[in-house]
Structure 1
Amino acid sequence: MNRDHHATELARQLTHVKRPNPVLRLYHWRYEILAVTLLPYAVVNAVLALGLIWSLVALVVAFNWVFYWRAARRHVRGRLRAIVVQHRLRTGFAGARICTVDGRRPAILWTRPVDGDVMVWLFCPAGIGFEQIHAGRAALAAACFTTEVYVDRHPKYAALITLTICTTAIRREPGRAASPGEVVPLRAHS
């Protein structure tokens, strides 16, 4: 059994990670595509409906509303961070070889900001499990430009994994450092 595990890991390390098909690639870049297409459309329609001066006034008011209102600024920053984390995780999965033997990576189902962190729900295809993702936490943290990634399995479905990407600094007790063998408690549970 141990020899089979080593053969599977060797095959995974030698396999090329599959590139997404064009439709999936469009889905991965959906936020950016919508921003590039809908924002100019909205600006043109605002200029046609309100005129140039009132459109500029509305744009300045909207920008100031987001810039000065703390809750709106936090929401926009959290959503932008969640979008960046999606792209960085896909790169991290490829770099850490968290893939099946035929090169498929976990699918990101949803991301959302929660209290300064980013929660990510993954669907793992057959051949990827909790142990493989847990072992690659350091590489995923480095890919996401963060200090720690917590991994939690779904209580009912083994193919669903929850990642907590800690974007805030971890507060440690002074004089007590985590040893390498120490179990780190999860910050959030499914």
Structure 2
Amino acid sequence: MTHDNHVPELARQLAPVKRPNPVLWLYHWRYEILAVTLLPYALVNLVLWLGPVWTAVAVVVTFNWLFYWRAARRHLRGRLRAIVVQHRLRSAFAGARICTVDGRRPAILWTRPVDGDVVVSLFCPAGIGFEQIHARRDVLADACFATDVYVDRHPKYRALLTLTISTTAIRRKPGRAASPGEVVPLRAHS
């Protein structure tokens, strides 16, 4: 490698990672803000509408429904894991210096649970690509408490990537390692 190839990487390592603006910060914490504001509001209105005894009955029935119905419990656990993965990935992007030279990180467009894994759709600003994220998959996996992270390119748009955060070990063919130029296949197709 020549000296010119190291300059952008050095600049990326030395530049501070940008903090999100207030609107973006509100978007990052939208689920928590809604839980802290809407749940007490809904509970107070439920007490005013049904009364304290029937509200207690409704809350107990709802918790039992979520606890004993396996599909509801699995859906809630997957959704909560997807929310946690968003926060863990944002921190991992900053810690692993997966950012542009001016400090912008990839934007998480959406996360969704799929068969025990979490599929994350990313928009990468100019200066961040498949190679950068693929090279730091181990750091992202450690940050998300996962066994592996699979990276997939969008077939049409180079700025869009899909990460599959896998919590279960997958059998691989021995001696076959993915190189940064290859597309790593997804375990769960989006």
| Structure-2 residue corresponding to 1:134 | 134
Is 1:112–1:119's contact at 8 Å kept on the other side of the alignment? Answer: yes
For 2:155 and 2:185, the matched residues in 1 are separated by 16
Give 5+ residue unaligned stretches, structure 2. Answer: 179-183
Change (3 A) 1:155 1:77: same
Is 1:152–1:189's contact at 8 Å kept on the other side of the alignment? Answer: no
Deviation track 1:55-94 (CA, whole Å, cap 9, x = no partner) reads: 0000000000011000000000000000000000000000
For 1:41 and 1:35, the matched residues in 2 are separated by 10
Q: How does 1:20-169 map to 2 (within 5 A)?
A: 20-167=20-167, 169=168
Q: Give the letter for the 1:129 counterpart.
A: G
Once the 2 structures are TM-superposed, how far is the Cα of residue 188 of structure 1 from its aligned partner? Answer: 3.5
For 2:88 and 2:2, the matched residues in 1 are separated by 32
For 2:162 and 2:170, the matched residues in 1 are separated by 22
| Structure-1 residue corresponding to 2:181 | none
SS at match of 2:31: helix
Give 5+ residue unaligned stretches, structure 1. Answer: none
TM-score (norm 1): 0.93
Change (3 A) 1:171 1:159: closer
Larger displacement relative to structure 2 (100-109 or 16-25): 16-25
Once the 2 structures are TM-superposed, how far is the Cα of residue 5 of structure 1 from its aligned partner? Answer: 2.0
Change (3 A) 1:54 1:22: same
Q: CA RMSD in A?
A: 1.5
**Equivalent pairs, count:** 185
Give the fraction of aligned pairs with identical amino acids, expressed as a percent.
Answer: 77
Q: Give the letter for the 2:38 counterpart.
A: L
